[in-house]
Chains A and B, each alone.
Chain A
Amino acid sequence: MIKFTRNIKRTLSINLFNGLLTLAILLIIGLGFIFTLNWLIFSANWKVVTLNLPLYAFGSFPVDQRWRPALWIISLLSLSVITLIGPNRKWLRKSLPLAWIATLPLGIYLLSGGLGLPMVMSRHWGGLSLTILLTECSLLFALPLGIFLALGRQSELPLVKTLSSIYIDSMRAVPLIAVLFFGQLLIPLFLPIGVEIDRVWRAIFAFTLFVSAYIAEDIRGGLQAIPNTQIEAAATLGLNQFQITHFILIPQALRIALPALTNQAIGLFQNTSLMAILGLIELLGIGRSLLANPEFIGRYIEVYIWLASVYWLFCTFMAVLARHLEKRLAIQKTNI
């Protein structure tokens, strides 16, 4: 804030025109701010949000079972907070990636049930918990696939190289909605008779196919940034091709690609909203179905502002988390 006011002072002192412009803009911002605040507090009817908070979070999940997605979201949030604080104990820090991977089977178990919990059909999954499930599942599946594709594109085998390149380039040329559409309508056509894959899993499959091509390009960027001398040094130490890839190339490529991968994760989180027009009732889908309810008809602005703030909050949180991670990885680098 001090910097901000100092900047204003500096800007004001440059010349009169700039000063007047600044004042005019500040006036407009002030008026806009007062007008918006007035609307938000007095004119807006927030019932459409406040009455339906459980719907936004869990969709049509059975009411007495809502603690399951809630527990999952809470465990994810607390894990994020732990990651953000960065525990001092080394074993705890080392097990963090494993804990993150473990949240996925935990989430699937809590949502679908079985093994003592009552089963819940996937058509009852919805709201924020479905959005998070789509994002996390697709991301965790797409990461290894993306690494394979990136390595394939760098491969010395011409066939593997060509195939990976064709896959990556064609996936990146196609709009996401076409891929999702493929997932919903075409995958059943390619399956043998009697075999059916659930809608949610088909969506996750399509997201994985799509995102892995983008992740592959980001990781390729990381791989190319590693100097050749590293590979030579590793070879001199007697590491074989697999060891070089596994211990030298991939960890460094992932670290270099981390900012780009964060953007992919944030993009994926936002893009899961496309499933709202392809038949899943995730966060945006809940908003749409509430707006179709006669009780809340015409409450577009309230619902959209609410949804935008939820998306904004989560995306910003992911960005903060990733920036923190980048910083920590960078510190490790200087320690070596």
Chain B
Amino acid sequence: MSKKLTYQIVVLFLLAILLSILINNLSINLSRSGLQLSFSWLLRPASFALAENPLPYSPSDTYAWALFMGWLNSLKVILSSLILATFIGVFIGIVRTVGNSVLGFLAAIYITLIRQTPLLLQLMFWYFVAFLGLKDSIFMPIKGMISISNKGIEFLGLSLSSEFSALLFGLSVFTGAYIAEVVRGGILSVSRGQWEAFRSLGFSEINGLFKIIIPQALPAIIPGLTSQYLNLAKNSTLAIAVGYSDIYAINDTVINQTGRTIESFIILLSSFFLLNLLISNLMEVINKITLNSKKI
């Protein structure tokens, strides 16, 4: 017992020494640069413009408000990619499991291409090639309803910037490949007998899949899905590569303007903590709902 206690005291002591050295260095460096730790600058006018702001914003608004806009922009792109990625992932996952062999082969190519190349490269491809590459031509698959150009996507009066659209598609197609594997694993975890049972009851393949198999696969799917959603949230910070003003990009601008590195880093971490909390709580609620519906 006393041996254990000694070890722990030694660990604590070493950690305290390390921390005090680091904090001492930090305070010396900060006082040399004349920037003492403070957050009052957050209330000063930001004086930079934003390409995208979900709520009214002008350069005369405060840094705090600009950062909040960034947080909302992050939330916007995360939630919309989350929905699109789920659709892509579920579709590809089902095709990989039960589709015909040619479709399955295509899905396998998609998954290897997406998983074996960096996301950052994919995002740049979507932005510089897929959207900006359109130059002045406007692509209208359904006249009057949707039009795609280098300015972004117009969909029934809803206009999405090209930066947002590139990020949306890049993140969704990337995360979709991972969700597909989660869905496939979930479907394979349901026993073969269930398939035979619904077939013998006269369900069609698609009907049986969605009414019998997927509800039973959900408990196996949701934990994997949650971690993919959290990854998506983390990956959304690559927005800076395509010029979308998310929380990280705005933090970067703020640091360039004010030199408040430590404070901005603390803000970045806490806003991320909030986003993570939001997503995991949301998934917890969904998990509870699916578990409850299973009991009935």
Contacts and interface: CB of A to CB of B under 8 A. Distances in A.
Nearest to B241: A277
A78 B82 CA distance: 43
Interface stretch (A97-105, A152-160, A218-226): A152-160
A157 B262 CA distance: 32
Contacts of B209: none
A308 B101 CA distance: 26
A11 B22 CA distance: 65
B117 A173 contact: no
A271 B237 CA distance: 13
Interface in A275-320: 276-277, 284, 300-301, 304, 307-308, 311-312, 315-316, 319
A182 B265 CA distance: 8
Given A178-B268, A185-B255, A25 B117 contact: no
A187 to B, nearest CB: 10
Interface of A is mostly: helix
B87 interface: no
Contacts of A7: 101
Contacts of B34: none
A316 B241 CA distance: 25
B118 A304 contact: no
A163 B129 contact: no
Interface residues of A, number: 52
Interface in B73-93: none
Contacts of B145: none
Contact of A185 (B102, B118, B240, B261): B261
B140 interface: no
B8 A157 contact: yes
A26 B101 CA distance: 11
A191 interface: yes
Contacts of B230: 173
Contacts of B234: 174-176
B30 interface: yes
Interface string B25-50: 11011101000000000000000000
29 contacts: A4-B105, A11-B101, A14-B100, A22-B100, A22-B102, A25-B106, A157-B4, A160-B7, A175-B234, A175-B272, A178-B269, A181-B265, A182-B265, A186-B261, A186-B265, A188-B29, A189-B262, A191-B29, A274-B120, A274-B238, A277-B120, A277-B241, A284-B118, A284-B121, A300-B128, A307-B121, A312-B113, A312-B116, A315-B116
Interface of B: 4, 7-8, 11-12, 15, 22, 25-26, 28-30, 32, 100-103, 105-106, 112-113, 115-121, 124-125, 128-129, 133, 230, 233-235, 237-238, 240-241, 248, 255, 261-262, 265, 268-269, 272-273, 276
Given A11-B100, A177-B238, A284-B121, 5 more contacts: A4-B105, A10-B101, A300-B129, A301-B133, A304-B129
